[in-house]
Each structure stands twice: as structure tokens, then as C-alpha cells.
Amino acid sequence: MPKPFTSVAVVVVAALLCATLAFVRGPAPELRKAWIDGAGWRELTLADFQNVNGDADTWSQRGDVIACTGKPNGGARLKTPLTNFELVLEWKHHEHGGNSGLFLWCPESAFTDLPRGTLPRSGIEVQILDLGYEEQWLESKGARSDWFTSHGDVFPVGSSKMTPFTPQKTYALPGGETFRVGTPDGSRSFPSERLTRAAGEWNHYYVRALNGEVRLWVNGVEVNGGNACAPATGFLALEAEGARIEFRNMRVRELP
């Protein structure tokens, strides 16, 4: 993976996760974050988004949390488009195998007259997928997935384009098992490390979208991205895809 730009300072710090989990577990480990210094950041709440094709209760603001029922499939898009920007957010799935996503640089056509139950037509998706999705795939197929992971895949949707940093990746699991995902000529980018936490625990994403390049940090570590994205301007969107999910501490800073 190419080295990050040095024009934006990114300092990885440790922060203690103080949330009480919704199921019986031991105390959560420290939640590592990519923390970005400087002025210009603004908080995003549900008031900054438009419910494109969901029901009235699909999206709700509960204190400092944006909550999504996941039903019907669809999206909520930012009311104003973005070109170059940084975004930080935390997300938590509530269902084993839950699916969702963060869309970047969606053109208006991705949402125009979008039928109920339909996902955005185009954009660059940063996958938000619970670990249980991989587990269910393994149980049903008898083999690990060779085309997706639950750890922050980045890929173009529909007519959008992207050149992935890591179109193919081999993972080594504890115990010595290895498996490969992707193909050398694929458009999907796979994370360098597997760092996502399970349903019921908060995860932290830092995304930098700059000059047609997308980079993703998962729980404080840069793991994924791609460049030559087209289009490289458009709307940010949150995805409803069948599972209950929450977002919090969402902030954005526009860049030159």
C-alpha cells in the first residue's frame, strides 16, 4: 500500500472504550482511534442527512447516536456534496452477521427516484460488515469467502470506478490457517489487517477522501484504500441493509 500523504497529520492514540455491552462479555479492550488535529471539523447528526428511500422510522437520532433499523434496504445521504474531506465515525452492529456501509462520492443519480428497498446505485463503498457474516458464509459454504472480508473492504459500486491498493490478499489466521481473497485484476480492495470487532462492540473508522483517493483506518490502523476514483465528488451516504446498526461521534472536515 502506498505511503500516506504527509500534509495531513494523523496521530494514533489510545482511548478507553467505556460503553457497557448489550450482551454478557468481559470488559472491552481499548478502542484505538486515528485522531486528527486541527480546526475545521464539524459534527454530523441525522439532521444533516436526507432519508432517501427508507420508512419514517428507518433512521432516528437518539441522543448522540444515529440509529438505523436496517429496514428497508436503502440509504440516507448527506444534504450537501463533498469533494476532498476527512471523516471520523464510530459504528456498532447489533446483529450477528449484520450488514451496512458508508458510501462516498455518490452522484445525484445514485439516489434519484430510488425505489424502496433498493441500495444506492453508485459510489465508493466502505464496507461495514459484522464478523458473523464471514462465519455464516463458512458454515453454509464449507469454505472461507474468496471475494469479501468483514474488516473494511473498499470498492466501487455500479458505474463508479476505483483502482484498488490491494485487489488480492492472503490472510494468515491464528493457528496457521491461510486463505486468499480477490484476484489480481479485481476492483475490490482488501484490508491489510483484520481488526473489526464483533456485534455489540464499537468500531472506529477514519476515512480520508482526497483528490480521487480513498484511505481507511480501522480502529486506529490504516488498512485499505484505492485511487483513480471516478467520480471523485458527490454525496456521502449511510446504508441500511437489513440489520440494526448505530453510528456516533461522526465528524467531517473538508480539505482543499
> Which CATH superfamily hosts domain 42-254?
Exo-inulinase; domain 1 (2.60.120.560)
Gap between the Cα atoms of 184 and 195, Å rounded: 23
Residues 6 or more apart in contact with residue 49 via CB below 8 angstroms: 59, 66, 76, 77, 78, 79, 237, 238
pLDDT, block means (10 residues), the chain with 256 residues:
36 32 39 68 97 98 97 98 97 98 98 98 98 98 98 98 98 95 98 98 97 97 97 98 98 95
User: What is the pLDDT, as a whole number, of residue 38?
Assistant: 78
Residue 210: Cβ within 10 Å count? 18
Gap between the Cα atoms of 39 and 121, Å rounded: 34
Q: CA–CA distance from 34 to each of 75, 132, 211, 222, 224 (Å)?
A: 26, 25, 20, 9, 14
User: What is the pLDDT, as a whole number, of residue 33?
Assistant: 57
Say if residue 191 is preceded by a cis peptide, omega within 30 of 0.
Answer: no
Which of 179, 198, 42, 214 lies closest to 206 in space, CA to CA?
214
User: What is the pLDDT, as a whole number, of residue 19?
Assistant: 33
123-129/221-230 β-pairing: unpaired
Angle at 213 between CA 207 and CA 217, to 5 degrees: 25
User: What is the pLDDT, as a whole number, of residue 35?
Assistant: 57
Which of 163, 176, 222, 223 lies closest to 36 in space, CA to CA?
222
Which of 246, 240, 208, 236 lies closest to 86 in space, CA to CA?
208
Rg (CA), the chain: 17
